[in-house]
Each structure stands twice: as C-alpha cells, then as structure tokens.
Amino acid sequence: MLIRIISLIFIILSFAAPAFAQSGTDPKPLIDALAKADFAEAETLIGQIAATGDPKVVPALDAFSEGDLYFRKSDSAVFIGKTGDAGLELIDPLTGASAGPTSKSAVTKIRVNNNLRRVIDAAKGGLTLMSPDRGVRLAAADAVLASPSPENLALVEAALAKETDSEVKARMQEARAVSVLSSDRSVDEKRDAIKTIKSLGGRNALGILNSVSSSIDPSLKSDLDSAIGSIEAEQQLWDMVQNVWYGLSLGSVLLLAAIGLAITFGVMGIINMAHGEMVMLGAYSTFMVQEVIRTHAPGLFDWSLAIALPVAFLVTGAVGFVIERCVIRFLYGRPLETLLATWGVSLILQQTIRSIFGPTNQEVGNPSWMSGSFPVGGMTITWNRMWILVFSLTIFFTLLVVMKKSAYGLNMRAVTQNRRMASSMGIRTPWVDALTFALGSGIAGIAGVALSQIDNVSPNLGQSYIIDSFMVVVFGGVGNLWGTLVGALSLGVLNKFLEPSVGAVLGKILVLVLIILFIQKRPRGLFALKGRAVEA
C-alpha cells in the first residue's frame, strides 16, 4: 500500500522533472533484455537498470512488479501493458508514449516472483534517493531500509553525501547501515552498522540482524548478539504496550456496554436484563440509517455514524421510557422481580428484531475514517479501536458532567438517595425515574452504534454483553461511575494479559472466577461506600 503510493508520487514526479535524470548507460537495451531473462538473470538486470540512475525506469519496474510488463512476440520489444476496453494497450516503458492496442495473443507476460518484487522495491528505493522532494527521499530511504541490498549501497552513500535534511539523513544512515551488513565491507564498518541498526530497533531491524547472524564475521558475533538481545528486550516492552492497548481497547468496549447499566443498575438499582437488547437496538438503528443513506444519499456514508448516534439515542431512549412506564415503575424496591420482568422484555425485543430483520447478521459498513490503521512505535493501532476508545471516554465524561453539574443530574441523585424527601421538595419523581431509565437506555443505544462497527449485528448481539456489563458494574462498585470506568478498563487489560498464556476462553473463565472471588472479598466492589446507611 505504502510502496504503491510512493511509486505513484514518483511516477508523477519523474515525468515532471526529467532534468534530474542522470546520464548513464541507456536503460532501453537492459529493459528489452528482460524479455528473454530467467528469474536469476532478471535479478541482475534489475540491478543494472537501477544502476543507470535514470528515474524514467521506475514505471517499467513498477509494471514489472505488478505483472504488467509484456514483450511482443514478433520482435521481443518490451512494453507496459494496460488492460483497456479494446484488449491490451501497449505503452513504451521509458517514454510512456502509447504504442497502440494489441491482442493478448500477440504478447507474452514477463513473469515475476516475490523475490524479484523485493529486488525491484529495493532498486526503486535507490533510484529515488536523489529526488528533490523531501518526502520522496524519506520514503525511498524507508524502502531501502525495508529491503536492503549491496547494490544500493553506493547509491545510498552518494545520496547521503548530498543530503542536507537531518531527518532524511538519519534515515539514510540507517538504510546505509542495513545495506552495509549484507555487503562485503570491512568488519569495523559493519560493527558501526550494527550499532546503527540497534538504535533503529523494531521487528524489521531484528529480522535484518537475525538474517545475517549465520553469515556474519565471527568477530562481530558478540556485537550482533547483544544488539539482537537489546532489540528483543525492547520488542518485549512493545508487546506489553500492545497488550495494554488491546486491553484498553477491550476495556473501552466493556465500558461502552456497561455505562448505561451503571445508570440503570448502579444509580437506580434496576436490574435491567434488557440492557443488552438496548445495545442491540442501537446497532440496528445504525444499520437502518446506513440503509437509508445507501439508497437515498450515498455521499453521506462517511457521516452515517454521526447521524446514527442521535437516532439510536432517541430510539432506545424511547423504548426505555416505554419499558419504565409500562413495567418497571410497578416494581421499584423489588430488584429481583425487575430482573425477571426485564428478562421477559429482552426476550420480546430479541424476537421482535428477529421477526423483522431475520436471525442472520446484518451488514453494517465502516466509514472511511474508521478503517485502516497507523503505526505507533513498535505497534499498530487500528482507527476503529482508537475511535471507540475516544468515543467511550467522551460518553463517560459527558455523563459524569451531566450527573454532577446539571440540574437534572441533581434531581436524579436526589430521587435515588431519598425518594420521599425529593418528592416532597417538589421534584416529580416518576418523571425523573422515567427520564433516568430512558437516559441509561439511550446511552446503551449509542454504545450499540459504536459496537456495530466491531461486532456482528444480529438479534443475539445484546446477550453477549449482558453478563460482562454486570460484572463490570459490580466489580467497579455499584452507584459509582468512576468505579465503572476503572472496572471496565482494568478487566479489559487483565483479560488481554491472561490471553497469551492461557488462551482466550480460559482467560475469560479466569476473569469471571476472579470477579466472583473478588465479590466475596469486597461485596460492594472496588469503590464501595462505607457506613451505616448503605447497609440498611
């Protein structure tokens, strides 16, 4: 992907700046020679083509790598082939001028393999090291770094001599070091190269060092081993960071699922077994929004989640409101019975969705900004996980502010702490109850929007979250939002740290067992209130 972008940039650039083409040997006969070459010969030829230092050869090399290079059976002339409407269009490999269409039977594809592709990438890296564009040079140095070859060494060193930008220079130094190791330079130079690579770190560096460890001069063995050792240690650290990240990512999912429950269960004391179904409804709302967008306004697709958020909040909030008014309000003070009634509600909601949409998974698409990933140090972070973490924390803190600062939040806390007193002070308690339950449900709904991005959207979606959500709230301490945050994140991290050693399922079982034991030790969770009042 990255390579392709770079080469694209470079193709444009090489046509725009022909002045930089160095006058070496003419690459044309070398390219034509590819027609009859076997893989080994082709490898040599690529080296020679690159050695011309002529950037115009880059499109030909790209085409070769992509398998788009052909030779004409009649005269063995080599062309780049583009599949068009009228069969194959032939393009001159160096000038880019069209040589007209031809039938597929008149030409033969020049075969390529992965080894050749690697060689091509490295060769191209060398070629573009002199580009006037800083970004291209940087990318070229990266390309050499990723696939070092002795052939590139001279090119890198030449480029290094001219380089002025310190960052590019540093990268080129590393590229040079990598190339030095696989060349036949002196032991001292190689020793320096090992040092440079060691400071580079990462999985690539480790790979390079490991690949030369068998062929290296014995006198360098100890340097090499210590370099490998230190990179491995660093790598372990990154693995740990990666685990923490995965854990936080899982934790953010747990937080999303549990946060609505922290209100309905934690604050209101309602055992809402239909909570998972609220999440599920939120996910289906997202699906519906995307369906409408697909048919009526495809251009808005990237905004689908932003549109789905209020929709899901309103839909699930309304469902929650109805449930509170019709069922739960008759059951205050009988927590075990709300558990049963809401379980009944959850069955009905599931079956309703199943009757309307069918039991199979629904396709919910990722907007472009949710897909892909970016590297951080020695690990990769996917955008969807990143956004979900950001999103869950945003919801959490918004909710915290609403509860602590707004008049509604004050009313709500008043009602949950002393219903009678609140009502005699003129707060309309039934209204506050219904709104609070609707709020908890609505938040579950917007959690569903986020979870639709990483989970299968099916009628059973909610069931997979309900037990985890309860565990998080109970573990964190009922009635304490901070407890829910800490509970969710620490359970997520714990889970991901157990996983590598015991496997995913056993890890999950262990976490459950640990929570069960933990509740024995602290029946009121991590952040429990103490005192006489809570025991009454």
Partner 1 sequence: MNTIAETRTKSLLYLENVSVSFDGFKAINSLSFVVEPGELRAIIGPNGAGKTTMMDIITGKTRPDSGTVLFEDSIDLTKKDEADIAQLGIGRKFQKPTVFESHTVWDNLELALNRDRGVFGTLFYRLTPEDKARIEEILETVRLTHRAEEYAANLSHGQKQWLEIGMLLAQEPKLLLVDEPVAGMTDAETAETAILLREIAKTRSVVVVEHDMGFIRDLGVKVTCLAEGAVLAEGSIDFVSSDPKVIENYLGR
Partner 2 sequence: MITGFILRALEGKIVAMIVVLVGIAILVPALNLLTPPDSAFHIPTYAMALFGKYLCYALLALALDLVWGYCGILSLGHGAFFALGGYAMGMYLMRQIGPRGVYGNPVLPDFMVFLNYKELPWFWYGMDWFVVAMAMVLLVPGLLAFVFGWFAFRSRVNGVYLSIITQAMTYALMLAFFRNDMGFGGNNGLTDFKDILGFQVQADGTRAVLFALSAIMLALCLLVASAITRSKFGKVLVGVRDAESRVRFLGFRVENIKLFTFVVSAMFAGIAGALFVPQVGIINPGEFAPANSIEIVVWTAVGGRGTLIGPIIGAVLVNAGKSFFTGAFPEFWLFALGGLFIAVTLFLPKGIVDTIQHGFRVRKAMKAAAEAEKGRVGTDAVNPSAAQAAE
Where does this chain touch partner 1 (CB under 8 A) — which range of 113-121, 353-361, 381-389, 526-534? 526-534
- Residue 529 lies near partner 1 (rule: CB under 8 A): yes
Tokens found for residue 168 = 């590019």
- Residue 506 lies near partner 2 (rule: CB under 8 A): yes
Nearer to partner 2, 24 or 335 (CB): 335
Binding at 530: pick from partner 1, partner 2, none (beta carbon under 5-8 Å per type): partner 1
CA 293, 295, 299, 301 torsion-angle sign = positive
User: Minimum distance from CB of 440 to partner 1 (Å)?
Assistant: 26
The residues facing 91 across adjacent strands are 80, 98
Three-state secondary-structure class, residue 17: coil
Q: Which of 330, 369, 397, 431 binds partner 2 (CB under 8 A)?
A: 330
If residue 98 lies in a helix (H) or strand (E), which one and from where to where?
strand 98-102
CA angle, residues 384, 385, 387, in degrees to nearest 5: 65
Nearer to partner 1, 284 or 527 (CB): 527
The residues facing 90 across adjacent strands are 81
The residues facing 373 across adjacent strands are 382
Do 11 and 68 touch, CB atoms closer than 8 A?
A: no
Tokens found for residue 228 = 């490998």
Nearer to partner 1, 375 or 531 (CB): 531
Q: How many CA atoms lie within 13 A of 270 on its CB side?
A: 30
User: Minimum distance from CB of 319 to partner 2 (Å)?
Assistant: 14
The amino acid at 416: T
Q: Which of 70, 437, 465, 470 binds partner 2 (CB under 8 A)?
A: 470
The residues facing 72 across adjacent strands are 107
- What is the edge-to-edge ordering of all strands in the sheet holding 78-84? 98-102, 87-91, 78-84, 69-72, 107-109
User: Minimum distance from CB of 366 to partner 2 (Å)?
Assistant: 29
Q: How buried is 380 (Cβ within 10 angstroms: 0-12 exposed, 13-18 middle, 19+ buried)?
A: exposed
Tokens found for residue 119 = 């060689």
Maximum CA pair distance of the chain?
A: 100
> How many chain residues interact with partner 2 (CB under 8 A)?
41
Nearer to partner 2, 244 or 327 (CB): 327
Q: Which of 1, 19, 233, 336 binds partner 2 (CB under 8 A)?
A: 336
User: Minimum distance from CB of 484 to partner 1 (Å)?
Assistant: 19
Binding at 336: pick from partner 2, partner 1, none (beta carbon under 5-8 Å per type): partner 2
Where does this chain touch partner 2 (CB under 8 A) — which range of 74-82, 101-109, 253-261, 332-340? 332-340
Where does this chain touch partner 1 (CB under 8 A) — which range of 259-267, 278-286, 321-329, 524-532? 524-532
Nearer to partner 2, 407 or 517 (CB): 517
Q: Which of 100, 107, 111 is nearest to 74 (CA)?
A: 107
Q: Which of 198, 252, 206, 234 is nearest to 381 (CA)?
A: 252
Nearer to partner 2, 356 or 407 (CB): 356
Residues 289-295: contacts with CB under 8 Å, at least 24 apart: 290/364, 290/365
List the interface residues with partner 1, window 257-286 (CB under 8 A). Answer: none
Q: Which of 25, 98, 355, 380 binds partner 2 (CB under 8 A)?
A: 355
Q: Which of 296, 420, 521, 532 binds partner 1 (CB under 8 A)?
A: 532
Nearer to partner 1, 247 or 479 (CB): 479
Three-state secondary structure readout of 39-83 = HHHHHHHHHHHHHCCCHHHHHHHHHHHHCCEEEECCCCCEEEEEE
User: Minimum distance from CB of 360 to partner 2 (Å)?
Assistant: 16
Site map 475..514 versus partner 1, x via CB under 8 A? ----------------------------------------
**H-type helices in 375-462, by residue range?**
383-405, 407-417, 419-424, 429-451
Q: Which of 523, 530, 532, 533 binds partner 2 (CB under 8 A)?
A: 523
Interacting residues with partner 2 (CB under 8 A): 271, 273, 327, 330-331, 335-341, 343-348, 350-352, 354-355, 463, 467, 470-471, 474, 505-506, 508-509, 512-513, 515-517, 519-521, 523
Interacting residues with partner 1 (CB under 8 A): 529-532, 535
